[in-house]
């Protein structure tokens, strides 16, 4: 399995394992890679805290996947839910499907993107003159089975955010124009980042992100010096710096792959599920997304830790990430740091301190 060297010929990427601190953000990203159904991550924090660097570093760790060759939607040759209608028709007609391997892609969504650029567009002229559905795929097609990253998501037009979240939730993107409708799979991990000083997302949009990670400026002087040294070393000789972390990168990549394979067999007891729902109810969390995401994240974390069953400690670690942005709050207050969620966890589970 080629995991690290495949992109050496492109712009060098800072190694994920070399990133100092910001454990909460790194954990949220890793859990979403292990189980994309968690629903993505919203990362909010100060300027210059490595949000974009960390997200782009994540791509280095992702495994290769099987895709239908030259398919614009990165269709899965074996899963009907992840293949385009054209590939499905080829299978029904028993045609030979060319298959190749490709790295999981990460697509950057620019702030000025139009809806046509995001969703794709239908060539009306070709449809009328030649009678065929000529579809020009957008960023959602390119992001299928990969990662869609939106930097400064809180500055993105609300309508576009709605489109992204709808596609992320349903796994499909539908483009309709002039009586012509085309659908294609759009299963991706949605990662948004932003600076709270530039405004928060609407609560109903925040709720659609599976997890919410907060990042802050490092206060420890020694740690700040280490971060500066790491960055200076990388800028001076990226190839040599990446080589020093090659083993750690490959180890983490294998760990992610094994966790993905182990995930389906992870158990979470009925008692723990009841307590998760009790915490959500007592915190007055609207809807059931909080319950569902916490269950999924706890199982993904257990898989990452090579456990067979979810433990209270697994839940304690992930539940602030899953619930903090779903709490009812005063409009003038910022999102809870997670302490309120952890306090409620201790009450429900009967712990005097962290497990």
For residue 17, the 8-state DSSP code is G
Q: Could you say which of 208, 289, 296, 324 is catalytic? A: 289
329 close to 335: Cβ distance less than 8 angstroms: yes
Considering only CA atoms, give the Rg of the chain.
21
> CA 338, 342, 344, 348 torsion: positive or negative?
positive
Neighbours of 252 (CB within 10 A): 18
Residues with Cβ within 8 Å of residue 291, at least 6 apart in sequence: 276, 277, 280, 285
Q: Report d(CA 212, CA 148) in Å as an integer.
A: 16
Count of CA atoms in the C-beta half-sphere (13 A) of 108? 10
What is the DSSP track for 138-205?
Answer: -HHHHHTTEEEEEETGGGS-HHHHHHHHHHHHHSEEEEEETTEEEEEE--EEEEEEE-GGG-PPPHHH
Task: Give yes or no: 56 in active site.
Answer: no
The separation between CA 38 and the C-alpha centre of its own chain, rounded to angstroms, equals 8
Active site residues: 289
């Amino acid at each position: 399995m080629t995991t690290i060297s495949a992109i050496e010929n492109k712009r060098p990427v800072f190694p994920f394992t070399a990133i100092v601190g910001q454990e909460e953000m790194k954990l949220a990203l890793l859990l979403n890679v292990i189980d994309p159904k968690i629903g993505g991550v919203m990362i909010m924090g100060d300027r210059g805290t490595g949000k974009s660097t960390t997200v782009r570093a994540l791509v280095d760790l992702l495994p290769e996947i099987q895709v239908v060759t030259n398919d614009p939607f990165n269709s899965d040759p074996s899963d009907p839910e992840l293949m385009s209608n054209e590939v499905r028709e080829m299978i029904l007609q028993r045609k030979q499907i060319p298959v190749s391997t490709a790295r999981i892609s990460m697509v950057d969504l620019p702030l000025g993107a139009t809806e046509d650029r995001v969703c794709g567009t239908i060539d009306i002229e070709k449809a009328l003159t030649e009678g065929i559905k000529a579809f020009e795929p957008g960023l959602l097609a390119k992001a299928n089975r990969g990662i869609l990253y939106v930097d400064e998501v809180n500055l993105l037009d609300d309508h576009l955010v709605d489109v992204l979240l709808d596609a992320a939730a349903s796994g499909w993107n539908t483009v309709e124009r002039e009586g012509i409708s085309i659908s294609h799979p759009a299963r991706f991990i949605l990662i948004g980042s932003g600076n709270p000083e530039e405004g928060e997302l609407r609560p109903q949009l925040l709720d659609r992100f599976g997890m919410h990670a907060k990042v802050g400026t490092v206060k420890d002087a020694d740690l700040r010096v280490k971060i500066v040294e790491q960055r200076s070393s990388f800028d001076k000789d990226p190839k040599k710096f990446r080589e020093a972390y090659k083993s750690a990168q490959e180890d983490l990549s294998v760990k992610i792959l094994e966790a993905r394979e182990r995930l389906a067999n992870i158990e979470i007891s009925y008692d723990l599920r009841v307590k998760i729902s009790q915490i959500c109810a007592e915190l007055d969390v609207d809807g059931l997304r909080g319950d569902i995401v916490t269950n999924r994240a706890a199982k993904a974390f257990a898989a990452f830790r090579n456990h067979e069953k979810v433990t209270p400690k697994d839940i304690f670690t992930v539940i602030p990430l899953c619930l903090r942005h779903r709490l009812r709050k005063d409009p003038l207050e910022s999102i809870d740091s997670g302490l309120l969620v952890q306090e409620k966890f201790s009450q429900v589970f009967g712990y005097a301190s962290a497990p």
